[in-house]
Structure 1
């Protein structure tokens, strides 16, 4: 395996605070950057307990391969997992409705965790990385039949602690490998913390083949404690609803506004590239943090992307920040057509759009024989700025 699991990773001892996530949470409340919330404080207290149990923890690695295996042997060879010398700490499965602060709390835990190797990654991206690594392993090991142990070995080499954001299972190909993969990770002592909108017992519910998925649910329930975040306030929706979403003209002021929107929604100035696997190929979003993505108009509408790509983007992100929508017309009709398809996908998934543009939606495409085609898109763009639309829940499943 190439070990190229994306996401935020930290090697080497040391979190950012010896006081842990509870003190970090209380400090943000005292500073006014977070609103006091009893449910969030209770969750921070449970995370604090896990923080204490994991201080200095290192998951056991598999033993080295037999001599003579070479680099490929060391990376891809089948290796039995080492016997655990100590019981791994039980992780946490943090479940609650959208916008309740689950990701924020897990991030506080991740940032302060004093674990030698730790990784924080969106679960959807983790699974895509796993499928890619399995494909590479099969190419490097023709005739071999079990990529799961070497994949688990690769993961444990970079993460004793795995923090998953937005844990959800919709894809049958994910469901097919999750049980064995997580059993192998837990055998190696990996500690899992996850946020989800779905309780473990409801994962993959109503899907064909779910009976074969039940052992994985039992495994998650055995190796993580369920923590329900029962906050009444939807902070995510409040943040989006408070933001202006259409900025024109597309100038330096608009760029600063989009920078500020990204910072407000993610808590970071810049994101990391995310690769979405769509029909066997990769679609790259240049910047992403959690469920917020950012890309330029030309990167999405100037590329050879189609409906499946835009639907995958709309399902993956609850908010898309789009830079530089130009005036549209017959001279750039291919890009205009892709933009129409993109907006349709975002609208179907109730994905929120924050954009900079050369003009208002109703004046973006004013001339040419296809201008009438754009009227529905302009109407949708206007509706997507409304408070009623911004209050709608994001639809994460494929349309």
Structure 2
């Protein structure tokens, strides 16, 4: 019988949480050398040069006897890569991770908040404070508690001399805009923003340039038959999956799909509420990170999925997350369709975001 994600209740250990602080499989091959800037958008070349120079600076020896005598470390500066989805921000972030020697960690925003919850704030600062570099992907502040937590974490790491580099779809002084009363936390947000050199990266979604623009829905019998025939596949009803996601912390969605070779979902339909939509976005991100093809059915026949996120969601403060999820799910569904024709899932390629 084919397994369902709904049957899984991951409880990752602290050791697992720490071991996961590395770039996911999709970005394991990302390097500065294979990031190819689009000449139509000069900011991409500028970002590549900035990250290259930053990597060289972090890799330069700064030790010595006198340096060890300093009582207080210098406050470290960081980089904040802002831009739309699909322009290569995550590729650049993981390239930096691979280019810098010494201890460094990499994780998404929710992975860091979960780590702080597991360790306690001070222990997390001490542990992460041993790093040369902390990489934070998908920096999005969705509630006041996370705002206070992450801004304080960045300040304390920076004061210890740890370089922090983050990617986001939102400029630092606009974090939380349209989602909660960001003005109440403006001082905290601005204090964090002062630690970064902010660079806006413009460009088009590379997945659209590759011809992957629409989410393909397959006939439901086709999805079910493929799931039953394949080793390592999972099969879930969409509504049951959404319900199950409410019982699993988003930071554990990576563990939820451990060992999954292909994910199959039937009954996909439009989403109208943020709480369901945002959890599904995180699941799509983790499937994309781990290069897990998706075979999707939204009805009895094949077609194109439209209006997955309601118009009011796409006009909200979370709109950039939703558009990124649409792009990534289209890519995963494209890979899933390729499995039916004997093709293989297309890995990250030269530029991933």
Common topology (TM > 0.5): yes
**Compared CA separation, residues 170 and 243, structure 1 to 2 (3 A):** closer
Distance 1:93 1:243 in 2: 31
**Compared CA separation, residues 151 and 243, structure 1 to 2 (3 A):** same
Q: Is the 8 A contact 2:79 2:198 kept in 1?
A: yes
Q: Is the 8 A contact 2:58 2:132 kept in 1?
A: no
Distance 2:45 2:257 in 1: 27
My pick for the range that moved more, 40-49 or 217-226, is 217-226
Query: Who is 1:38 aligned against?
Result: 42
Gap runs ≥5 in structure 2:
1-12, 64-69, 234-243, 268-272, 325-353
Tell me the secondary structure at the aligned position of residue 322 of structure 2: coil
My pick for the range that moved more, 276-285 or 211-220, is 276-285
Shift of 1:97: 1.4
- Within the candidate set 294, 305, 308, 1:384 is matched to 305
- Within the candidate set 97, 106, 116, 1:120 is matched to 106
Query: Who is 1:168 aligned against?
Result: 140
- Within the candidate set 108, 119, 124, 1:151 is matched to 124
**Compared CA separation, residues 209 and 312, structure 1 to 2 (3 A):** closer
**Compared CA separation, residues 288 and 53, structure 1 to 2 (3 A):** farther
- Give the alignment's Cα RMSD to 1 decimal: 4.9
- Within the candidate set 73, 90, 113, 1:103 is matched to 90
Distance 1:396 1:83 in 2: 47
Distance 2:127 2:284 in 1: 31
| Larger Rg, first or second structure (1 or 2) | 1
**Compared CA separation, residues 168 and 308, structure 1 to 2 (3 A):** closer
1:241 aligns with 2:213: yes
Shift of 1:89: 4.3
Distance 1:236 1:217 in 2: 32
Query: Who is 1:346 aligned against?
Result: none
Shift of 1:180: 2.6
Shift of 1:190: 1.4
* Alpha-carbon displacement from aligned partner over 1:174-221 (angstroms, at most 9, x marks no partner): 123233322221221111111111001101224555345223322222
**Compared CA separation, residues 125 and 48, structure 1 to 2 (3 A):** same
Distance 2:83 2:320 in 1: 14
**Compared CA separation, residues 101 and 209, structure 1 to 2 (3 A):** same
* Alpha-carbon displacement from aligned partner over 1:311-355 (angstroms, at most 9, x marks no partner): 443132456869xxxxxxxxxxxxxxxxxxxxxxxxxxxxxx963
**Compared CA separation, residues 278 and 189, structure 1 to 2 (3 A):** farther
Q: Is the 8 A contact 1:278 1:308 kept in 2?
A: no
**Compared CA separation, residues 203 and 130, structure 1 to 2 (3 A):** same
Comparing both chains, which one has the higher relative contact order based on Cα–Cα distances under 8 Å and sequence gaps of 6 or more? 2
**Number of equivalent positions:** 268
**Compared CA separation, residues 237 and 245, structure 1 to 2 (3 A):** farther
TM-score (norm 2): 0.59
Distance 1:214 1:386 in 2: 34
1:395 aligns with 2:334: no
- Within the candidate set 3, 22, 39, 1:9 is matched to 22
Distance 1:185 1:95 in 2: 21
Distance 1:356 1:209 in 2: 39
* Alpha-carbon displacement from aligned partner over 1:94-121 (angstroms, at most 9, x marks no partner): 101122111112122222122x111111
TM-score (norm 1): 0.53
Query: Who is 1:315 aligned against?
Result: 281
Shift of 1:246: 3.7
**Compared CA separation, residues 97 and 9, structure 1 to 2 (3 A):** closer
Residue pairs, 1:1-399, within 5 angstroms: 4-5=17-18, 7-9=20-22, 22=32, 24-25=33-34, 29=36, 38-56=42-60, 83-85=71-73, 87-114=74-101, 116-134=102-120, 148-157=121-130, 159-206=131-178, 208-231=180-203, 233-239=204-210, 240-241=212-213, 246=218, 248=222, 250-251=225-226, 278=246, 284-286=253-255, 296-297=263-264, 311-318=277-284, 355-356=294-295, 362-363=299-300, 382-384=303-305, 394-395=321-322
